[in-house]
Amino acid sequence: MRLEPQQRERIDRSRPVSFTFAGWKVTGFEGDTLGSAAFAADKRVFSRSFKYHRPRGLLCCSGHCPNCLMTVDGVPNVRVCTEPIREGAVVRGQNVRWSLDLDFMSVTDKIGAPFTPVGFYYRTFIRPRRLWPLYEKFLRSAAGLGKLDERAGHSRRYDVEHRRARVLVVGGGQAGRAAALAAATTGPGVVLVDEDARHGGLRLKGVEVLAPARALGIWEGGLVPVDAGTLLYRFRVERIIVATGATEQPLVFPGNDLVGVMLPDGARRLVRDYSVKPGNRAVVLASDDAGLEIADDLREAGIAVPRVLDLRDIRPRELAAQGRKGRVRRLVVDDESIDCDLLVASAGSQPAYSLLAQAGARIEFDPELGVFVPTELPPGVEAVGSVTGEGLGKVAPEPAYRGGGKCFVCVCEDVTTKDMKRAIAEGFDSIELAKRYTTTTMGPCQGKLCHLSSIRLYAQENRMYESAIGTTTARPPWAPVELGLLAGRELTPARLTSIHWRHVEAGATIQWAGPWKRPYAYGDKPDDEVRAVHESLGVIDVSTLGKLVVEGPDAVALLERLYPNRFGDMKPGRIRYGVLTSDGGRIMDDGTIARLADDLYYVTTTSTGADAVTAWFEWWNAVWGYEAEIVNVTGAIAALNLAGPRSRDALQRLTEADVSAEEFKYLDAQEIEVAGIPTLALRIGFVGELGYELHFPSPAGEFLWDRLVAEGARPFGLEPQRVLRLEKGHVIVGQDTDSESNLYSSGMSWLPKLDKDDFVGKFALEHFARREEKERLVGFTMEDDYLPAEGAQVVIEGRPAGRVTSARRSEAAGAVIGLAWVPADRAESGTRVEIRIDRLLRGARVMHGAFFDAAGERMRG
């Protein structure tokens, strides 16, 4: 029922808005919240409680308590008391069987109490263990909050924005606004956040206002995440001013959760903001001056207030609210019974210090005020207004629980005074333990409405002072936050080569390869692509290779110390294969090193290793202080591998340089022009055929690709490349090797030059050279045509003794071939091992060297 227009009402009576509330059509006004409009339409039950399924109605009307958590348009756990009204919204109850007004599960309230004391599920459902899945299913459906709509899926999109501010003010009340304005006079960069949507229209000179938005915590370095609905701001701030105010605390007495029991501020908001009549006959129970003032506000709105009780003056022997069907009907004080349908009760206000506590402030009990206040604020964090305790009146010293019936300390988790007392009796004698056992303060309000009362009860039961008990640890987030917001939107930047769209146009299957998107194959017959490379001509985009230029008078010294092999004796224009090892002697990455001039080297790395290798080079260069510059040119340079028996002829047709076998030998590097593009051509053979790796400026990528394809080169993807390299027994670092592999166990003992002065990994390799390796990386050929999975077990005498790292069916080798780690004593060529494929053991023969063209005539010719 609406009141006469109030002076400061926020509703626009000329603009009605309709929505569905638990199946009923409800019409409110623009400016309403879903909760206030439903209340005005005489809806009183908004939820059912967590454990006992007791009916619950509006309590705080300020987004703190769990009583108005409902599912709105499929989004669970929305606080409808603060959620703005919107046309056509569908609001449903949650944790309910049947309806909000008639919930079958409320039987747990009537008969369940003796069987459902605190911690009952820890004890009752332990045995028999095998029944736990059944118990779990029941408990999960009986208790809890809203359910996610599984069909809704990814209906919301979340983003993260990184921001900086000089001053961030949390809370837009009087003190917060004043602090923000004062900060704005000293310069720009002042931001104020407030959770009330209507503060969005707030105009403060020189202050940016974000509302509705909530600061979730204060981390070191002035990091403050701010929840603004579907946008998470990660604020870095120099000064944080916390003005979160104080939160009215529910009074603990029997029947304190009945529908119609409200906090003063909740009743005040209904009257003042939404012109809704919160009740017809109200009784006020106050513990401080603020609690008393509500009586005048209610009378002014035309609500009868037959009694106002100030608990600072009277100490009733009995104090209990009684009701019918979960709604308050009367208040019993000692022998007197006062009829009412609204009971406004508060236990005073507690500074909302959680953010400050998280930031590292000390929280102390103030015996003068009877509440906890923050002290010793960390540097860069300030507090203003009532969060400091300023302006709060002294509250009634003792809680009021006397009388029969359930008396709730924590409305979120349905924890009663009896539960708390029982936990204390059972020996949970520290507040931190009692919190975990009873789950008080662990519900949706995060202790905002139950922290103080649980500590007061605890103090009384243990005959201790509140100050000796202290507070439980405050942890972020200080308000409930949607998981989607924390997870954010998936933002994985895909790296694409400059030729990428040509691959897409050619119908390639694209797949992730580290940070890159690369063609798997250009059709469903990778074998055809393999055959093209063997028989005529293929081309693959290898722009993803890491490419570094190392230049300077000390370039050679740097490389000599980074790689186990030698580079000083290389002539300009020559190429050498290199494997990077760590000081632990482990294989890190591999690639080719081309010497372009005396003090200029061109280094390639694996596709996924480019960034790590660059960092590795730069780091050692910083350690040693060499005069060498390292430039990562991976993105600037495109690369194509032109391979196959016809590659020389094809290249010759596109260049004026002489690329004949005599003038351009295997492992030569030449700077030539190809189709007019300045190109560094490297004659290397990863795929085992005559081939040229052409490195040239990225912008010419598509141009040169098109020219090579026009010369008859068939594009081939990653999968055919894997087959081709496996036929040669070429190792892929990271696939065939892991963090335990070294050069000796991987069959590359020819590579390290231990007579060199010093290099990264030398000490370890010296030790490895002297010892027997336990495992070796070897090639194998299957006896039959079975194809083992990568990772399949190598089995020796019935025991797993190794693993397959690569395996493919090869036409050229006429068999299934692969690489595997086997025990060193089985590494002899020709040894028979068994490999597990689909639970069966299949025979294989160890083989060393290449499976195809073992002499390497095709690529060297």
Partner 1 sequence: MSFLLPCPFCGRRPVDEFTCFGEVTKRPASSPTLRELTDYVYFRDNAAGVQREWWQHRAGCGEWFLAERDTRTNEVLEVKLPEPQRPGPGSDLVGSDPR
Among 520, 620, 703, 786, binds partner 1 (CB under 8 A): 620
Q: At what angle are helices 555-562 and 610-624 packed, to 10 degrees?
A: 110
Asked if residue 569 lies in contact with residue 746, where contact means CB atoms within 8 angstroms, the answer is no
Among 569, 656, 766, 828, binds partner 1 (CB under 8 A): 766
Largest CA distance in the chain: 115
297-308 in b/e burial notation, b at 16+ Cβ within 10 A?
bbeebebebeeb
Q: At what angle are helices 451-462 and 417-425 packed, to 10 degrees?
A: 50
Among 315, 489, 767, 774, binds partner 1 (CB under 8 A): 767
Q: Which is nearer to partner 1, 95 or 614 (CB)?
A: 614
CB of 223 to partner 1, least distance (A): 4
Length of the chain: 861
Supply the DSSP symbol for 368.
T
d(CA 372, CA 366) in angstroms, rounded, equals 6
Among 561, 595, 683, 858, binds partner 1 (CB under 8 A): 561
CB of 696 to partner 1, least distance (A): 25
CB of 84 to partner 1, least distance (A): 33
| Site for partner 1 contains 586 (CB under 8 A) | yes
| Site for partner 1 contains 622 (CB under 8 A) | yes
**What is the full DSSP assignment across 22-48?**
TTEEEEEEET-BHHHHHHHTT----EE
Q: Which is nearer to partner 1, 520 or 620 (CB)?
A: 620
| Site for partner 1 contains 40 (CB under 8 A) | no
Q: Which is nearer to partner 1, 5 or 221 (CB)?
A: 221
Q: Which is nearer to partner 1, 64 or 762 (CB)?
A: 762
Residue with tokens 């030790």: 767
Q: Which is nearer to partner 1, 183 or 588 (CB)?
A: 588
Query: Looking at 131-139, 493-501, 623-631, 660-668, which segment touches partner 1 (CB under 8 A)?
Result: 623-631
Cis? peptide before 212, omega within 30° of 0: yes
| Segment 199 to 238, residues that bind partner 1, using CB under 8 A | 219-223, 236
Query: Looking at 42-50, 276-284, 622-630, 696-704, which segment touches partner 1 (CB under 8 A)?
Result: 622-630
Beta strands in 454-562 (DSSP E): 509-513, 516-521, 538-541, 546-551
d(CA 391, CA 396) in angstroms, rounded, equals 16
| Site for partner 1 contains 152 (CB under 8 A) | no
| Segment 742 to 761, residues that bind partner 1, using CB under 8 A | 758
CB of 225 to partner 1, least distance (A): 10
**What is the full DSSP assignment across 627-666?**
S-EEEE-TTTEEEEEEESTTHHHHHHHH-SS--STTTS-T
| Cα radius of gyration rounded to whole Å, the chain | 37
CB of 787 to partner 1, least distance (A): 33
| Site for partner 1 contains 584 (CB under 8 A) | yes
Q: At what angle are helices 718-727 and 526-535 packed, to 10 degrees?
A: 50
Q: Which is nearer to partner 1, 61 or 215 (CB)?
A: 215
CB of 760 to partner 1, least distance (A): 8
Among 252, 588, 751, 778, binds partner 1 (CB under 8 A): 588
**CA trace torsion 730, 733, 737, 738 (10° rounding):** -170
Among 297, 461, 482, 618, binds partner 1 (CB under 8 A): 618
Backbone angles phi, psi at 266, to 5 degrees: -65, -50
**N-term to C-term CA, the chain:** 95
| Site for partner 1 contains 625 (CB under 8 A) | yes
Q: Which is nearer to partner 1, 222 or 443 (CB)?
A: 222
Residue with tokens 């052409």: 694
| Site for partner 1 contains 619 (CB under 8 A) | yes
Q: Give the x-and-dash track for 719-738 against partner 1 (CB under 8 A).
A: --------------------
CB of 364 to partner 1, least distance (A): 23
Q: Which is nearer to partner 1, 76 or 585 (CB)?
A: 585
Q: Which residues pair with 679 in a beta bridge?
A: 672
Is beta strand 159-170 parallel, antiparallel or unpaired with respect to 840-847?
unpaired
The count of other CB atoms within 10 Å of the CB of residue 843 is 14
CB of 603 to partner 1, least distance (A): 17
CB of 362 to partner 1, least distance (A): 16
Q: Which is nearer to partner 1, 510 or 769 (CB)?
A: 769
| Site for partner 1 contains 511 (CB under 8 A) | no
Q: At what angle are helices 431-438 and 451-462 packed, to 10 degrees?
A: 120
CB of 157 to partner 1, least distance (A): 23
Query: Looking at 126-134, 248-256, 538-546, 618-626, which segment touches partner 1 (CB under 8 A)?
Result: 618-626
Backbone angles phi, psi at 388, to 5 degrees: -85, -5
Q: Which is nearer to partner 1, 159 or 658 (CB)?
A: 159
Is beta strand 246-248 parallel, antiparallel or unpaired with respect to 408-410?
unpaired
Asked if residue 87 lies in contact with residue 18, where contact means CB atoms within 8 angstroms, the answer is yes
Q: Which is nearer to partner 1, 631 or 841 (CB)?
A: 631
Query: Looking at 123-131, 307-315, 580-588, 668-676, which segment touches partner 1 (CB under 8 A)?
Result: 580-588
The half-sphere exposure of 201 on its side-chain side, counting CA atoms within 13 A, is 3
Among 230, 280, 473, 739, binds partner 1 (CB under 8 A): 739
CB of 627 to partner 1, least distance (A): 9
771-782 in b/e burial notation, b at 16+ Cβ within 10 A?
eebebbbbbbbb
CB of 379 to partner 1, least distance (A): 11
| Site for partner 1 contains 376 (CB under 8 A) | no
Size of the site for partner 1 (CB under 8 A): 26
Kind plus residue range of the DSSP H or E element containing 311: none
Q: Which is nearer to partner 1, 30 or 618 (CB)?
A: 618
Question: CA torsion sign, 591 to 594 to 595 to 600?
Answer: negative
CB of 557 to partner 1, least distance (A): 9
Which residues lie near partner 1 (CB under 8 A)? 219-223, 236, 561, 582-584, 586, 588, 615, 618-620, 622-625, 739, 758, 763-764, 766-767
